[in-house]
Chains A and B, each alone.
Chain A
Amino acid sequence: MDKFAVKVFVRLRPSVLDPAGEATKSASIKLGAERIKSLRIGKMIEVKIEGNSENEVREKIDLLCDRLFANTVIEDYEYSLEKL
């Protein structure tokens, strides 16, 4: 059985307002980064998981992303996977 490290990124969909991102952008500008054009906040979830194959692990991660990690009404997700 192989071990995999997965990094899942969950982001608000572009059409969904991100008030926390807007507030952080405004604070960034106050710190002197006036040229910031856009700042949006997402989540990164790190998973370590065992599986017989990369495909088997991808199936599990797809399920977790779709059903739990992200709410696809308002969020998109993507992930990277590394065999340990």
Chain B
Amino acid sequence: MENFTVGIVVFPGSNCDRDVSWALEGCLDIRTKYLWHESSDLSDVDAIVLPGGFSYGDYLRCGAIARFSPLINALDDFVKSGRRVLGICNGFQILTESGFLPGALTANKNLNFICDDVELDIVSSKGGWFNDEGEKQAIKLPIAHGEGRYHCDSDTLEKLVDNELIALRYKNNPNGSSFDIAGITNEKGNVLGLMPHPERACDETIGGTDGLFTLKSLILK
């Protein structure tokens, strides 16, 4: 595990890349490496985080342009190999735009940019991203987004429910997301996308440690 390296993708406009690195290196002693979006060589990383921010200025739609970067083109083989990919906030938007996860994220119902702590129910721990053992079935994580309203058609929602692909649901839906969805996985479970920021909840001194489990699970095989 000593050599396990998490690649953190940096797009023009990413702004949570350093937060993720701080949380992984400083709180969990997991080695990280920044990956510029123009790189397509993913051979020396064992897991990937697509961090939050405003990739390419979120022009056209959030995540729409990032989808065409060389790195995202290389991500298909990486995901197929079973290695883990975590998309946080803008990273989640990129994963839906590029088809790694179903549905889409669009403007919050109240049109506000919402910056808050939210209570979340752990619905499924497919892929081992969340601790669903014992009594801790709910966590609190920060959100910070203007376009976090998850939307999908009814067939997709049924598939998400039936296959236990919904990872997190808001207790008090802040943005109008369908079915209170805050995070989903792919069928295999190795790709997780979520709007809340686990990397901002990794130290008691900044308000909580409920994000540690998810970041730590990047090193699961």
Contact of B109 among A19, A68, A69, A73 (CB under 8 A): A19
A5→B109 CA distance, assembly (Å): 35
Within 8 A of A (CB), among B95-113: 96-97, 102-104, 106-111
Instruction: Kindly report which residue of chain B lies nearest to residue A18, judged by CB atoms.
Output: B107
Residue numbers in B under 8 Å from A27 (CB-CB)? none
Given known contacts A16-B151, A17-B176, is B61 in contact with A71 (CB within 8 Å)? yes
Within 8 A of B (CB), among A1-46: 12, 15-17, 19-20, 23
Contact of B110 among A19, A68, A69, A74 (CB under 8 A): A19
What total of chain A residues lie within 8 Å of the partner, measured CB to CB? 12
Instruction: Kindly report which residue of chain B lies nearest to residue A72, judged by CB atoms.
Output: B104
A71→B151 CA distance, assembly (Å): 12
Sort chain B's interface into a size bin.
20 to 34
> In whole Å, how far is A75's beta carbon from the nearest beta carbon of chain B?
8
Within 8 A of B (CB), among A30-84: 68-69, 71, 73-74
A17→B149 CA distance, assembly (Å): 10
B60 interface hit (Cβ, 8 Å): yes
Tell whether, in the assembled complex, residue B108 and residue A19 are in contact, meaning their CB atoms are under 8 Å apart.
yes
A38→B16 CA distance, assembly (Å): 38
Given known contacts A19-B107, A19-B110, is B64 in contact with A71 (CB within 8 Å)? yes
Instruction: Kindly report which residue of chain B lies nearest to residue A12, judged by CB atoms.
Output: B106
Tell whether, in the assembled complex, residue B106 and residue A69 are in contact, meaning their CB atoms are under 8 Å apart.
no
Tell whether, in the assembled complex, residue B176 and residue A20 are in contact, meaning their CB atoms are under 8 Å apart.
no
A16→B178 CA distance, assembly (Å): 10
Instruction: Kindly report which residue of chain A lies nearest to residue B107, judged by CB atoms.
Output: A19
Contact of A73 among B107, B110, B151 (CB under 8 A): B151
Residue numbers in A under 8 Å from B61 (CB-CB)? 71
Tell whether, in the assembled complex, residue A71 and residue B97 are in contact, meaning their CB atoms are under 8 Å apart.
yes
B114 interface hit (Cβ, 8 Å): no
A15→B153 CA distance, assembly (Å): 9
> In whole Å, how far is A22's beta carbon from the nearest beta carbon of chain B?
9
Residue numbers in A under 8 Å from B103 (CB-CB)? 73
B42 interface hit (Cβ, 8 Å): no
- Select the residue from A12, A16, A68, A74 with max chain B CB neighbours within 10 A: A74
Contact of A20 among B64, B96, B102, B111 (CB under 8 A): B111
Instruction: Kindly report which residue of chain B lies nearest to residue A15, judged by CB atoms.
Output: B153
Residue numbers in B under 8 Å from A23 (CB-CB)? 111
> In whole Å, how far is A68's beta carbon from the nearest beta carbon of chain B?
7
Question: Which of B's residues lie within 8 Å of A, judged by CB?
Answer: 60-61, 64, 68, 96-97, 102-104, 106-111, 149, 151-153, 176
Can you list 17 A-B pairs, Cβ within 8 angstroms, ordered by A?
A12-B106, A17-B176, A19-B108, A19-B109, A19-B111, A20-B111, A23-B111, A68-B64, A69-B60, A71-B64, A71-B97, A71-B104, A73-B104, A73-B151, A74-B104, A74-B106, A74-B151
